A and B are shown apart, each in its own frame.
Chain A
Amino acid sequence: MNIVECIDIKKTYEQGQVEVQALRGISLSIKKGGFVAVAGPSGSGKTTVLNIIGGLDSADSGRVMVDGNVLDEMNRSQLANLRLHNIGFVFQAYNLIPVLSALENVEYVMLLQGVPVADRRQRARTILDDVGLEDKYDRRPAELSGGQQQRVAVARAIVSNPSIVLADEPTANLDSKTGQDLLELMQEMNEKKKVTFIFSTHDHMVMDYARRLVKIRDGRVVDDQIKAR
């Protein structure tokens, strides 16, 4: 069963007087439980693909379906609800709210979802334990290393059991050892919790970890490999 279905999506940006064609007709199907890397050089359109799948941006044409929802038929509020309940995000940087502790950052999404306080606190602790931050509940982002911050972001992304986690270059700001640890964590979460992970990356290590590698160049899919387990 496909959790993401993109059919011939196109997107053009205006940068000053110049029109930039970010996506020139991308079609992509991703199965539930996948661990997929969307790879390509800078400006290839990989972040745009992730933004469109996540409902953060809209395609000019084409059709996008995520977890059974047709995105181009949804208004902003419906898209916000979809993001809140069905999609988790891990960004490259500025992932966490600086004035909240690790535990509170994870709790915050559940607060928006209306999860009762005791329940959300319990779930936030469990997930932080799962990502190996059991002794960092009360640390604020500035008191955590880059890798630990990304772990909190992953914990936040998966705590409410979304269907998909979209990770935009999650290892870009990490050294290779920390990056590897993070990938292993995400892989473990993918296998344990059956959450679909989609990354954008140009990091070869991320590409190596992915079970499917979709390469994009100049707004088009140029290669799509499914790796043997």
Chain B
Amino acid sequence: MNFRLGWRNIWRNPRRTLVIMSAVIIGIWSMIFLGALMRGITDQMVRNGIATLTGHIQVHHKDYRNDPVIENSITEPEAVEATLNDILPPGSRWTPRVRVNAIASNARHSSGITLVGVEPRREDKISFVAQAITQGRFLKPVDKNGIVVGKALADKFETKLGRKLVLMSQDTKREIASRAFRIVGIFRAEMEATEKQFVFITMSAAQQMLELKKGISEISIILSDYQEVDQVTVALRTALSATDYEVQSWQELLPMVTAILKMYDGFIFLWFLVVFIAMGFGLVNTTLMAVFERIREFGLLKALGMKPWWIIKGVLIESFFLLILGMAIGNSLGFLSIFVLPSTGIDLSSLAEGMEFAGMSRVIFPIIESKDVITANLVVFVLGLLVSVYPAVKAARFTPVEAMAHT
């Protein structure tokens, strides 16, 4: 009967109930929807980071990350590859790369770039570049002189498909190695900086140009289940001698993205709190009004022998209904607005340039994370009931005589 009483009480003033319920609905909706947008942004950042040549895990010569010069290459890749074949879980993919700093130049311009030597067939399954070709084609294993460049670089160099580009870098003998390539493909990336930074040639061409023989700079690994990253990283570290190799997960390879992810966790929680505080004031105010309107009734109940705790419980049951109803509708609207969003996501390309610094995408796809939904609902429900304790205690503290004399 207490629940029946609480339910009927909240509908004594339907307009007021609907107003405060709307606040709860909007609060929960915004927590879920904007939370999902933020998650979408961070998820895309991680995907971009991983797809832009990082992968889930990388293996390098132990000094390469500190000093990425040609001398710090893996000279015996077969040993590492044998270990990878033993340890990586089924479904994993990996590819070797040569990656060195170089200078690209043509008749008009020159610019510092990162030369990446890839095995086209394997790279195809690992990083973004093969799918990102917008003009021409991706490299073929037989392309001795082919090069794939970013659209931004091509624009900057005022060049196009079929034109030549000269790459210059230091080889293993510390001599300047230089070679001309012909542009066979132009790629687009999420970030302009990526388009300007990376140029791709075949691995064999890179090894030949740099006199690396069979040496490589890195091995990039993609696992079928990204949740296994930590476990596999540890296993590889154990298997590969630390005196020769360094094994790092994407969290270590992309420290800025990792830091931003943590920061977003904090932001999302802070956002939940801010929304709740605005909503909480409304809830307290409404409950106080409802309580003060019924002071005489509380006096009557106390006169009949109702204990203060029962009155507190009664008021909390009313808040419980307001919150549960608001949460149910707010959650439904939140999920609905995410699911009805076009499958193309939300296009923020007009803002993309400003967002690139952090590796954000031009298009955001909201992502619902169960922990965000649970946190949002818990924040609203638990704190909502907590702030309702104040008006409830107020109602319970009146003596029957005071309350019944109230006009």
Interface of B is mostly: helix
A111 touches B1 (CB 8 A): yes
Question: Inside 8 A of A108's CB, which chain B residues have their CB?
Answer: 1, 5, 304
Q: Which A residues from 85 to 125 make CB contacts under 8 A with B?
A: 85, 87, 89, 91, 94-95, 97-100, 104, 107-109, 111-112
- Closest Cβ neighbor of B301 among chain A residues: A97
A112 touches B296 (CB 8 A): no
B5 touches A112 (CB 8 A): no
A104 touches B303 (CB 8 A): no
- Alpha-carbon separation in the docked complex, A98 to B2 (Å): 14
Which of A65-73, A76-84, A193-201 contacts the other chain?
Answer: A76-84
Q: Which of B297, B302, B305 has the most chain A CB atoms closer than 10 A to its own CB?
A: B305
Contact of B307 among A54, A77, A91, A100 (CB under 8 A): A77
Question: Inside 8 A of A156's CB, which chain B residues have their CB?
Answer: 304
- Alpha-carbon separation in the docked complex, A91 to B303 (Å): 10
B387 to chain A, nearest CB (A): 24
Categorize the interface residue count of chain B.
20 to 34
Q: Which of A81, A85, A97, A156 has the most chain B CB atoms closer than 10 A to its own CB?
A: A97
Q: Does B15 contact A (CB under 8 A)?
A: no
- Alpha-carbon separation in the docked complex, A164 to B150 (Å): 94
- Alpha-carbon separation in the docked complex, A141 to B303 (Å): 19
Contact of A109 among B2, B297, B304 (CB under 8 A): B304
Question: Inside 8 A of B302's CB, which chain A residues have their CB?
Answer: 80
Given A94-B404, A107-B1, are A84 and B303 neighbors across the interface (CB < 8 Å)? no
Given A57-B401, A80-B302, are A99 and B5 neighbors across the interface (CB < 8 Å)? yes
A97 touches B297 (CB 8 A): yes
Q: Which B residues from 353 to 407 make CB contacts under 8 A with A?
A: 399-401, 404
Categorize the interface residue count of chain A.
20 to 34
B303 touches A54 (CB 8 A): yes
A95 to chain B, nearest CB (A): 7
B305 touches A80 (CB 8 A): yes
Q: Does B197 contact A (CB under 8 A)?
A: no
Given A94-B296, A94-B297, A99-B12, are A56 and B1 neighbors across the interface (CB < 8 Å)? no
Question: Inside 8 A of B399's CB, which chain A residues have their CB?
Answer: 56-57
Q: Which A residues from 149 to 183 make CB contacts under 8 A with B?
A: 156
B1 touches A91 (CB 8 A): no
Question: Inside 8 A of A85's CB, which chain B residues have their CB?
Answer: 305
Contact of A112 among B4, B310, B401, B404 (CB under 8 A): B310
Other than the given A82-B305, A85-B305, A107-B1, 12 more pairs (CB < 8 A) read A51-B401, A56-B400, A80-B306, A81-B305, A87-B305, A89-B303, A91-B303, A94-B404, A99-B12, A100-B8, A108-B1, A156-B304
Can you give 14 contacting A-B residue pairs, CB < 8 Å?
A51-B401, A54-B303, A56-B401, A57-B399, A77-B307, A80-B305, A83-B303, A83-B304, A85-B305, A89-B303, A95-B300, A104-B4, A111-B1, A112-B306
Chain B residues in contact with chain A, CB under 8 A? Answer: 1-2, 4-5, 8-9, 12, 296-297, 300-307, 310, 399-401, 404
- Counting from the closest, the 8 A-B pairs by CB-CB distance are A84-B305, A99-B8, A83-B305, A56-B400, A94-B296, A57-B401, A80-B305, A80-B307
